[in-house]
Amino acid sequence: MAAVTAVTAKPLRIASGNDPQTMDPHAVALLYQSRIGSQVYEGLVNRDRDFRLEGSLATSWQQVDAKAWRFRLRPGVRFHDGTPLTAEDVVFSIERALAKTSQRAFQLRGVTGARRVDDATVDILLAAPDAVLPEKLVLVGIMSRAWAAKHDVLLPQDYNAKQETFAVRNANGTGPYVLKRYEPDNRVVLAANPHWWGKRGNVDEATFVTIQSDATRLAALASDQVDFVIDPPFQDVPRLKAEQRFRIVETFDIGTQYLGFDQSRDELLFSDVKGRNPFKDLRVRRAIAHAIDVDTIVAKVLRGQARPTGSPLSKLVDGYLPELEKRLPYDPVAARALLKDAGYPNGFAVSLDCVNITYRAAVCQAIAGMLAQVGLRVAFQPFPTATFFPRLTQANTSFFEFGWTPTTDAWGTLHGIVRSFGEGGAGTFNGGRYSNAKLDALIDAIRVEPDLARRRAMVGDALRAMHADLPLLPLYRRTLAWVMKPNVSVAQWPNDILELRFVDLK
């Protein structure tokens, strides 16, 4: 029997440039963690092959009154340790995701808690009506309360404080794959869950290998050490297409890359300007927009594997306005004039923080060079993920590049990255601590507006306000290219998450 198993097993080896950081489903809200966490932990809802909302641990849901949604749980579901999923586990998980140390709390603003109705039914309770609550529950993983209590992880890991808990390297979800091993900065090994309730592809074991070097990731694919590269270097994609040795699938990213600015402090932490903060002046933010030639960055640095944008959100997000795609034109003369008008005729010095992922570091270096042409002396500072994101969420940065991957609903993005920092996860990823009372009121109104057409119009108003005031400067959206052996079949989502349940090896 052992010999037959060895022959029929379908392993998949995946190379990625990024480590997931933690297995705790509520501790962080990073793309790199979601790529692993979504295989192990399930939410009440998920997305299908075509990225449309579908039931997961809930089979149906309905709004029962103005301040409650009722979810019917899927029968017969068990956690990986064999214990049954209960309504109490769902209540516990929603409350855990709302905890102070949870980075998932930002997407649950307005949720006050959950209550068990019966063994198969849970109500999620709201402070005010919420017409799109199910959308907010994607990636909010459900945990076993008994397992969490046994291992002293009733609260999420405090990621920013570098806390170590049992949930960082161990997991007990209900998903299609079971965590076998997590070796930070090295590999994650997942095994197929034979008792999963759903239908999945034929991958029996998946190993995610962290390889930070672009060249080494591709060399691993060429030498048969891995089967799949989820983030190939941009400069190699045209060559790989021409060679036709590997299968390549592509789509445009639902996310956006931005530049952000500290707009809260009276004096920047990392600048030579004393006694004032230049980024509080819209003229300075506009000058930076004029000084950056994003078209050239896309063509030369990203090798055409992206699309310049001026819109805060992509067309895949409800409420998107195509007219906002138009960027301020590349115009160094206008940039210098704006800086002079703002009181900085000789520019100023500032540090630019960036994640040390190769293509992002290269973009940041190009931006620094372009800003130098208008008198801004930019010291580019690359940081590993584990250092960069705590700096961002704690607002210990003056000038930064970051990417954001939204859901198809705009509210979570607006609430997470531009609403004033505050209770209930507001502005969790607002690294510049931008604050605009009128925009805040609009974002809060979007959350409780029951009429979807009116809600969409309000999103448009919020995006116009962002486009005018530049709390963040949109740069580009990537072309997501996945490179794999010809025998690998996948469903590609625009959020850059490879769902193993849709993978088949031929």
Confidence of residue 123 (pLDDT cuts 50, 70, 90): very high
**Residue 405 clears pLDDT 90, i.e. is over it:** yes
Domain count, the chain: 2
462 inside domain:
yes
Collapsed DSSP state (helix, strand, coil) of residue 206 = strand
Question: CA separation (Å) from 20 to 34, 99, 187, 223, 495?
Answer: 8, 21, 9, 25, 15
Q: Which of 488, 402, 481 is nearest to 233 (CA)?
A: 481
Q: Which of 405, 493, 505, 480 is nearest to 229 (CA)?
A: 480
Q: What tens digit of pLDDT does each residue of 302-313 get? A: 999 999 999 999
Co-location of 37 and 123 in the same domain: yes
Whichever domain contains 392, its CATH number is: 3.10.105.10
Co-location of 145 and 278 in the same domain: no
Are 315 and 406 in contact, with CB atoms under 8 Å apart? Answer: no
Are 472 and 258 in contact, with CB atoms under 8 Å apart? Answer: yes
Q: What tens digit of pLDDT does each residue of 271-300 get? A: 999 999 999 999 999 999 999 999 999 999
Are 306 and 295 in contact, with CB atoms under 8 Å apart? Answer: no
Co-location of 435 and 489 in the same domain: no
Are 12 and 202 in contact, with CB atoms under 8 Å apart? Answer: no
Q: One-letter amino acid identity for 11?
A: P
What residues contact residue 322 under an 8 Å CB cut-off, 6+ apart? Answer: 311, 315
Give the max Cα distance, the chain: 78
Whichever domain contains 132, its CATH number is: 3.40.190.10
138 inside domain:
yes
**Residue 2 clears pLDDT 50, i.e. is over it:** no
Q: What is the 3-state secondary structure (H, E, C) of 463-500?
A: HHHHHHHCCEEEEEEEEEEEEECCCEECCCCCCCCCCH
Confidence of residue 4 (pLDDT cuts 50, 70, 90): very low
Question: CA separation (Å) from 238 to 172, 220, 233?
Answer: 41, 18, 10
Q: Report phi then psi at 501, rounded to 5.
A: -65, -15
498 inside domain:
yes
Beta strand segments in 177-293, E: 177-183, 187-192, 205-210, 228-229, 247-252, 256-261
Co-location of 294 and 413 in the same domain: yes
1 inside domain:
no
422 inside domain:
yes
Write down the mean pLDDT value for the chain.
Answer: 95
218 inside domain:
no
Q: What tens digit of pLDDT does each residue of 437-486 get? A: 999 999 999 999 989 999 999 999 999 999 999 999 999 999 999 999 99
How large is the C-alpha radius of gyration of the chain?
23
Co-location of 360 and 400 in the same domain: yes
Co-location of 114 and 167 in the same domain: yes
What is the pLDDT, as a whole number, of residue 424?
A: 80
**Residue 7 clears pLDDT 60, i.e. is over it:** no
Q: What tens digit of pLDDT does each residue of 197-218 get? A: 999 999 999 999 999 999 999 9
Give me the mean pLDDT over the 331-345 stretch. Answer: 98
- Please report the sign of the dihedral spanned by the C-alpha atoms of residue 71, residue 73, residue 74, residue 79: positive
31 inside domain:
yes
What is the pLDDT, as a whole number, of residue 131?
A: 85
Co-location of 454 and 489 in the same domain: no
**Residue 1 clears pLDDT 90, i.e. is over it:** no
Give me the mean pLDDT over the 314-330 stretch. Answer: 96
**Residue 5 clears pLDDT 70, i.e. is over it:** no
Are 70 and 121 in contact, with CB atoms under 8 Å apart? Answer: yes
Q: What tens digit of pLDDT does each residue of 447-458 get? A: 999 899 999 999
Q: What tens digit of pLDDT does each residue of 407-418 get? A: 999 999 999 999
What pTM, to 2 d.p., does this model score? 0.91
87 inside domain:
yes
Residue 271's DSSP bridge partners are 350
Q: What tens digit of pLDDT does each residue of 71-119 get? A: 999 999 999 999 999 999 999 999 999 999 999 999 999 999 999 999 9
What residues contact residue 45 under an 8 Å CB cut-off, 6+ apart? Answer: 53, 54, 55, 56, 58, 61, 134, 135, 137, 138
Residue 80's DSSP bridge partners are none
Taking residue 333's Cβ as centre, other Cβ atoms within 10 Å add up to 9
Co-location of 192 and 327 in the same domain: no
Co-location of 313 and 429 in the same domain: yes
Give me the mean pLDDT over the 224-238 stretch. Answer: 94
Q: One-letter amino acid identity for 160?
A: N
**Residue 9 clears pLDDT 70, i.e. is over it:** no
Q: Which residue has the higher pLDDT, 1 or 247?
A: 247
Co-location of 446 and 491 in the same domain: no
Q: What tens digit of pLDDT does each residue of 150-177 get? A: 999 999 999 999 999 999 999 999 999 9
Range of the domain at 418: 256-478
Q: What tens digit of pLDDT does each residue of 237-267 get? A: 999 999 999 999 999 999 999 999 999 999 9
Co-location of 469 and 491 in the same domain: no
Provide the token pair at 89: 């586990």
Provide the token pair at 103: 């980075």
Q: How far apart are the first and last CA of the chain?
A: 22
What residues contact residue 361 under an 8 Å CB cut-off, 6+ apart? Answer: 354, 355, 380, 382
Are 328 and 290 in contact, with CB atoms under 8 Å apart? Answer: yes
Co-location of 261 and 376 in the same domain: yes
Confidence of residue 8 (pLDDT cuts 50, 70, 90): low
